[in-house]
A and B are shown apart, each in its own frame.
Chain A
Amino acid sequence: MKGNRRHLPTVAWLALMAPVALALWAAGSGLESLLVPYYFRIILLSGIAVIAAVSLNIVNGFTGQFSIGHAGFMLVGAYASAGITMFARPFTESVLRSAHVPDVMLMPLQFAAAIAVAALAASIVGLLVGLPSLRLRGDYLAIATLGFGEGIRAIFVTVDAVGGASGLHNIPPLTSFVWVFLGVVGVIITARNLAASTHGRALFAIREDELAAQAVGIDTFRYKVLAFLISAAWAGVAGALLAHLDLGIDPRSYSFMKSVEIVVMVVLGGLGSVTGSVIAAVGLTWLPEILRPVAEYRMVFYSALLVLLMLLRPRGLFGRKELGLADLLGKKKTVPNANRKEGG
């Protein structure tokens, strides 16, 4: 009766992904040398946006809680990862060298550690923010997360050790196509597996009707915190990737506006639809670039297009639906999320 069978188990996915990742690494390097750096950068930014949007969807879409502080978690991840690749670097390198790790692996391993630390740091902050604020509902939760996002930025800006208001510079250029791709695949697998699990059903039940969810025995608070944790961890990953792509952290680019951008991606894609978040994140990252020819009217077009899309598709591009391989091959596929037919 449970929905897990519809998805490949995670282990199979990983086994499948290893050769794919290798091929991608080759393709990524090829792509990098082929494309104008400017466009290559936008491809990577799209991937990072996907990680941010899909992870926010776990809270805002799956669980129906309105969080608008996602950039705050990205910022935590950005600083935490830079801490590893910049400040802890002499130490981690000497440890790795003494373990006879070959030189080519030094940076990838450190970056992997940095991303893991970013995820951990962001999820700890997620827990600290979630525990008090997830008792709040609706608008109050939105305001609390907004306050957190701006507050965390204000804190970093006052710490001179991390560059104060001018932020961090000289972060090593570690974000490559493969890392972004792995992040994108990772967040999508996380979200889809969650959606198909009993935990996912608990989240959907909370979104549908929190009181009814309590009535059937769901520990709603625990699940809201869980969703928040997972979501914050992936936001941390996105922040780590962004910092090592920008080669610095400018706290201003992790402001409330950034959080709003991510919320717009999730809403435009369709609250609860992973596919929608992916497409909206990529689309909205490219849109300003595509609109570049209209120069100063860019934001006007951008806003007008958003308004138009929301008028045409008030529940987002995908509503709560998902698009999987089976759909592309023309088969009918059940949706783990909403309007699903009887399982089994």
Chain B
Amino acid sequence: MLDIQDVEVYYGAIQALYAINVSVQEGEIVTLIGANGAGKSTTLRTISGLVRPRRGRVRFMDKDISGLPPHEVVRLGISQSPEGRRVFSNLSVFENLEMGAYVRSDPEGMASDLEQVFGLFPRLRERAKQGAGTLSGGEQQMLAIGRALMSRPKLLLLDEPSLGLAPFLVREIFGIITDIRSKGTTVLLVEQNARQALSIADRGYVLETGQVLISDTAEELLASEMIQKAYLGE
């Protein structure tokens, strides 16, 4: 469904990605893991159109989307929960979710998706009228994911959803990601929390200094001695 082919990205003179190849099949959870500055967020930003690749192509559902502006990418069915949550803190939880459905115009579908999101994150329903800025970090993360789901994406991009969360919340979030996939949304998950990401993913890519170091099934990666040493802290 998604194919990143030989993509190179620069920030000014600094090269962030070197001929990256990543693919995601429909129905999968694929994870990108790697150290700080490896280029994980840059890869997501390239898919969602926030940065343009200098070389290479991004294909989504047999359409070349490289260089499309972000608002068009969202309309094609790719939605992202950006790094650092970035909820609209002066809007209520409900309004944030409404903003997530910005590209849609089917009130019934939106209402049922809102129910789905509240089903996944009951805490958001309780706090629907609360200002998003007053939510806890974990709740804001749930809101950021919920907001991304409100556009009913085919492909959901998640950038470090577990960042800064207590271990029990991390487990909860990862459980919910699995639920999201089982409801038919494909997920590309960027994580530093490699063990947990791999435990729910089908496949994984290990990025290092802007390159794909290894890609394999999640099981193989979890079992690999080298990965265990470098990324799983063993």
Contact = CB atoms under 8 A, between A and B. Distances in A.
B100 A216 contact: yes
B79 A215 contact: yes
Interface residues of B, number: 32
Judged by DSSP, the binding face of B is mixed
Given A215-B79, A217-B71, A342-B128, A208 B91 contact: yes
A169 B48 CA distance: 55
Interface string A199-228: 001101100110111111111100000000
Interface in B53-72: 69-71
B70 A217 contact: yes
B154 interface: no
Given A342-B128, A342-B129, A216 B94 contact: no
A212 B95 CA distance: 13
A303 interface: no
Given A209-B86, A339-B90, A214 B71 contact: yes
A338 interface: yes
A217 B128 contact: no
A216 B89 CA distance: 15
B50 interface: yes
Interface string B74-101: 1100011110001111111011001110
Contacts of B50: 211, 214
A331 interface: no
A343 B129 CA distance: 10
Contacts, number: 83
B72 to A, nearest CB: 8
B91 A218 contact: no
Interface string A39-56: 000000000000000000
Contacts of A217: 70-71, 74-75, 79, 102-103, 151
Nearest to A222: B71
A100 interface: no
B103 A338 contact: no
Contacts of A332: none
Given A204-B91, A338-B91, A340-B92, A218 B86 contact: no
7 contacts: A201-B99, A209-B88, A217-B71, A217-B102, A338-B91, A342-B95, A342-B128
Interface of A: 1, 198, 201-202, 204-205, 208-209, 211-220, 320, 338-343
3 nearest CB pairs, A to B = A217-B74, A217-B103, A208-B88
